Structure 1
Amino acid sequence: MKKLKILVLSLSSLLSCHSGEDIHDASGTFEADEVIVSAELGGEIDSLNIQEGQILPAGKIVGVIDAENLKLQKEQAEASLNALAVRTTDVQPQVLLLKDQLAVQQVQLKSLLREKQRTENLVKLDAATGKQLDDINTQIEVTERQIQVIQQQIKVQQNEVATRNRTILSEREPMQKLIAQLGSQLNKAQVRNPISGTVLTKYAMTGEVTAPGKALYKIADLSTLTLRAYITGDQLTQVKIRQVVTVLVDNGQEEYIKLPGTITWVASKAEFTPKTIQTKDQRANLVYAVKIKVKNNGFLKIGMYGEVALNQAS
């Protein structure tokens, strides 16, 4: 452990500010949370209006992928959905015809019932014969059966048409889901920028053919960068999550720019020192990685070297 302390002090001395003050407890490089935006749909890139270094807002449509085939499929599905209404049968005209026949029979039945009553009275007065009454009863029975038949026909007609229409309309929901699915795929033809940030790298150009999952460009929010630094085991007890520390960056004029930073992550396992430390003995030492969020004032760049003073927070 004594040897480790000597090596760390030696390294800190080499990395100290030009004035010779040993105020640095850790060092590392700045990095950003980079997002690689990929194509969600295959096809020719109709447009990709971005440039490296360009600042883009979240949600902006920056490109379009050709999806004419999907558009035609969606229009065909919508036409098929509209055609379902034409294929259905309107039961009302047929039912209305049967109801008209039913009304005629019911009027006739009422007339026969009145005639029956009158004939019964005449039979009691010996003014009509029993045969006349029997004939009227027979006509009443025939009319009642006809009414029953028509009523049954109305029910059968309504049930048959309803069943046929249900079968046709059962295709509506799957068709609607297909249209929604095609619409969702069409939306993926638009390349929508996911986060506010700066375009770091552009991988594709207008006119190229892309595929689902193929990278189009890389973007990162540079307003806040992360300094990944390394501390020794002895320093581990000096750090905690949300601790404010001082980050120092060389401004190239024999002095440092000091910025406040917040520790957001501490590694749970030790690792060997980064290979940027070239001596064999130093590479054998174990250190812990920490991440420090630093608000970028425009001076910080990805990959820039930075140092940390744990006990000198701004």
Structure 2
Amino acid sequence: MRTLITTTIAALTLASCGNKDNQFDASGTFEAVETIVSAEASGLIKTLNIEEGQQLQAGQTIGYIDTVQLSLQKRQIEAQINAVLSRKPNIAAETAALQEELRHARQEQQRIANLVKADAATQKQLDDATSQINVIRKRITAQQTSLGTTTSSLSDEAQALQAQLAQIKDQLAKSEIVNDVEGSVITKYAEANEMTAMGKPLYKIANMTTITLRAYLTGDQFAKAKIGQKVKVFVDADAENYKSYEGTIEWISDKAEFTPKTIQTKDERANLVYAVKVKVKNDGLLKIGMYGEIKF
């Protein structure tokens, strides 16, 4: 009789465990979009005000890399630009003397023309006066062309320096470490007073306000899943109880794959499964890598 009771209890226990294993349609792990933020400049990290687990806002300045050398280069290039621009000629001032000479030549031509009309001067004198005007005009044109060439050359030189200045300003801006992604710091790779280089990781961040459960469905469950469908998501609250969340299917794989070894599906006999992503609003308890279950 005792043996029969023991056997019955064992059977009920196994049945209960079997029901617990099969009460969910699929299981998987939580993941989030993780972004590795790297340095955009090389040098000594002067400040880096972040800690793992800290919540950061987009656009928040969290530190900067030493900029002394860049600042000195900026001042040097600005001085060079001012020196180049100071050499640009003032075309009006440079040709003022010739313009005055031209004005006098025209007056002389007009005076001689009046004398020719009064038979007090010869035609040759008038022709010489006209020729003098043409000569002065050509001298003015030649000087304006020369001064224009000099101005253009100096402008090109200044533009090249302006491009260098823009590069320095861009490097100065990138020396300021600005967080571009809202989220929580997952991993910190660098500390203040350490040397860094362009492209070297500083920290990893992920937005945990909404987290994704990647679960796997068998072929017969695949037909039930639709993008936008609401499902129940369960995670372990303690050894015997679950905490539930509402989730939304946001992606369904169109290719079958072999069941991952760490995932237990409803039908353990199925070798091929389909991955789905379920978006869940995080209350702060869900973590990356945590296991979760879903039920339609």
**TM superposition score category, shorter chain reference:** 0.7 to 0.9
Shift of 1:269: 2.2
Matched residue type, 2:214 = R
- Report the equivalent of 1:78: 78
Select which of 2, 16, 23 maps to 2:20. 16
- Report the equivalent of 2:11: none
Matched residue type, 1:308 = I
Mapped partners of 1:109, 1:228: distance in 2? 96
Matched residue type, 1:267 = S
Describe the shift of the 1:149–1:197 C-alpha distance in structure 2 as closer, same or farther (beyond 3 A): same
Answer yes or no: is 1:59 the counterpart of 2:59: yes
Describe the shift of the 1:15–1:206 C-alpha distance in structure 2 as closer, same or farther (beyond 3 A): farther
- Report the equivalent of 1:129: none
Matched residue type, 1:170 = D
Describe the shift of the 1:273–1:82 C-alpha distance in structure 2 as closer, same or farther (beyond 3 A): same
Count residues with an aligned counterpart.
280
| Contact 2:50/2:62, CA 8 A, preserved across alignment | yes
- Report the equivalent of 2:116: 116
- Report the equivalent of 2:164: 178
- Report the equivalent of 2:29: 29
- Report the equivalent of 2:38: 38
Shift of 1:272: 2.2
Shift of 1:164: 1.6
Answer yes or no: is 1:302 the counterpart of 2:288: yes
| Contact 1:35/1:218, CA 8 A, preserved across alignment | yes
Describe the shift of the 1:36–1:289 C-alpha distance in structure 2 as closer, same or farther (beyond 3 A): same
| Contact 2:185/2:206, CA 8 A, preserved across alignment | yes
Deviation digits for residues 202-260 of structure 1, max 9, x if unmatched? 11000111112211111111111111111111211111111110001221163222211
Matched residue type, 1:42 = S
Describe the shift of the 1:166–1:283 C-alpha distance in structure 2 as closer, same or farther (beyond 3 A): farther
| Contact 2:85/2:158, CA 8 A, preserved across alignment | no
Shift of 1:298: 2.0
Deviation digits for residues 262-303 of structure 1, max 9, x if unmatched? 11112222222222269xx95982222211110012222222
Describe the shift of the 1:103–1:15 C-alpha distance in structure 2 as closer, same or farther (beyond 3 A): farther
- Report the equivalent of 1:287: 273
Tell me the SS of whatever aligns to 1:270.
Answer: strand
Shift of 1:44: 1.0
Pairs within 5 Å for 1:93-112: 93-112=93-112
Deviation digits for residues 154-207 of structure 1, max 9, x if unmatched? 111111111221122122333222222222122111111121111111110001
TM-score norm. by structure 1 comes to 0.82
Answer yes or no: is 1:141 the counterpart of 2:120: no
Mapped partners of 2:105, 2:272: distance in 1? 104
Unpaired segments ≥5 residues, structure 1: 1-9, 120-132
Select which of 204, 211, 216 maps to 1:230. 216
Tell me the SS of whatever aligns to 1:182.
Answer: helix
Root-mean-square deviation (Å): 2.4
Pairs within 5 Å for 1:171-210: 171-210=157-196
Pairs within 5 Å for 1:250-269: 250-252=236-238, 254-269=240-255
Select which of 248, 253, 259 maps to 1:273. 259
TM-score norm. by structure 2 comes to 0.86
Q: Which moved more, 1:199-208 or 1:183-192?
A: 183-192
- Report the equivalent of 1:239: 225
Shift of 1:149: 1.1
Shift of 1:13: 5.3
Deviation digits for residues 40-70 of structure 1, max 9, x if unmatched? 1111111100011111111101111123222
Tell me the SS of whatever aligns to 2:108.
Answer: helix
Mapped partners of 1:276, 1:113: distance in 2? 110
